[in-house]
Amino acid sequence: MPLRKSPNNIFVKLLLGFWLCSSLIFAFVSILPLLQQNHDQSDLPPKLERLLAKMANNVIENPQILQSDKLKRWSRLKDKNDRQIKIFLVDENSNVLNTHKPPRALRRFMLMADEAPKPITHQFRDELFFGPYHFKVDNTPYAIYGTLPEHHPRPWFLFFIDNKSLTIGITILLSGLLCGLLAWNLGKPLRSLKRSADALASGDLSSRVDQATTARNDEIGQLAQAFNGMADSVEEMVHSQQRLISDISHELRTPLTRLKLSLALSRKKGQESQEIQRIEYEADQLEQMIAELLELSRVKLNAKENKLTLELAETLNQVIDDADFEAEQQSKELHINIDEEICLPVYPRPLSRAVENLLRNAIRYADSKVTIQTKSQPEHLIIEIIDDGPGIENCNDLEAIFKPFYRPHSARERESGGWGLGLAIAEAAITAHQGNIKAENVEPHGLRVSITLPR
């Protein structure tokens, strides 16, 4: 499917996401000094301008103040609120005349005032500077600046200017959150796609990607649509294969029935021979194999039926009774440890057939004892069938024994006379339950087959 030129494709989303993230962070950091300047700096109010004019007139009327020790006393006064006001007299060379150590904040304010088109005020931490007021004495220019102790509440965002390390940390955190939201937006549909792919790989052919993912107008939505199309094709092909096997098995039964009918007629006519006995034996074997193939197809095609929530003990009751009778006939013991209170959703017939095949297999190869038991977990139920037989010599065969027509070269199969379909039927039945089945050797000898079913 060609890539659609759409504003919703992943390239555009990534570009816009990271561009927006970096732009917001840059704007946040860049605007803080401007906000501080707009908050701390304003025009000189008339009240303070009159105060500076009054002090300037005092110097103009009494120029001897500039040449006497009275300059220091002249530069200090109090307002109506009993606040200490400091006045700084500056000459044309920007030298402060009434103090030998002018405050650093005064120098900063003088630079700000030189750049301003008219007199201003500026709020520092605990002081308010204001000015300048220009005047002349004997044609010599002077300027007056003032400061008074004043603390104005600052907006919360100016806190970041005074705490640069914290600002950097918060900026990194915010960028991480924004990038995390972008990653989550991209990762959520991918996780949905992964779950559907895992379910399909485990045998759930009905698994599809959810509609919210397929409705996306980007590459992920296109991928989800392609996945669903592939899953539809795979499901159709698998079901067609199973139907073909089932149809062939049905068709084989017709000539097989005619063959057995011919054998019966031959016997009635007294035509009994070793060859006829052999033909009858092979016909019986062929009929059993066809029955197994039909059962395998039926189990695999049964996956879309509705499950029934039943008690496990009741579901397996007849199977266990038959297995107990068969074990008794072979002088072997069957130990049963199944919690009668266990209920779970199952396909009754496929599950019973799976357990029946496993029990018959275990009884056939056990030396003296077979055990069937259950283990409950919060989300799963485990059914274990254990025998004390020879086990399976080749460990590679432990997984392969569940494949159709696979017969390992071991003592468990040399005398079986089967076709390797019994365990394949069991595996297909458990897969239809979205469960799994595995075999493992136990010490000192024997085999354990574990069935895991979702609760």
Active site residues: 250
Q: What are phi and psi of 147, to 5 degrees?
A: -145, 145
Q: Which two tokens stand for residue 34?
A: 């401007």
d(CA 421, CA 10): 48
Q: What are phi and psi of 411, to 5 degrees?
A: -65, -25
CA distances from 224 to 5, 187, 192 (A): 18, 13, 9
Angle CA(219)–CA(220)–CA(221) in degrees, nearest 5? 90
DSSP string covering 361-420: HHHHH-SSEEEEEEEE-SSEEEEEEEE-S---S-TTHHHHTTSTT---SSHHHHTT---S
d(CA 275, CA 298): 34
Q: Is 144 left (phi over 0), alpha (psi -120 to 50) or beta?
A: beta
Preceding peptide of 408 cis, ω within 30°: no
Q: Which among 144, 53, 132 has a CA at the least distance from the CA of 98?
A: 144
Task: Name the burial class of residue 252, with classes exposed (0-12), middle (13-18) and buried (19+) by CB atoms within 10 angstroms of its CB.
Answer: middle
d(CA 75, CA 77): 7
Q: Which two tokens stand for residue 71?
A: 């300059």
Q: In what order do the strands lie in the sheet with 140-149?
A: 41-43, 120-123, 127-137, 140-149, 84-91, 76-78
Q: Which among 241, 220, 322 has a CA at the least distance from the CA of 3?
A: 220
Q: Which two tokens stand for residue 357?
A: 């095949």
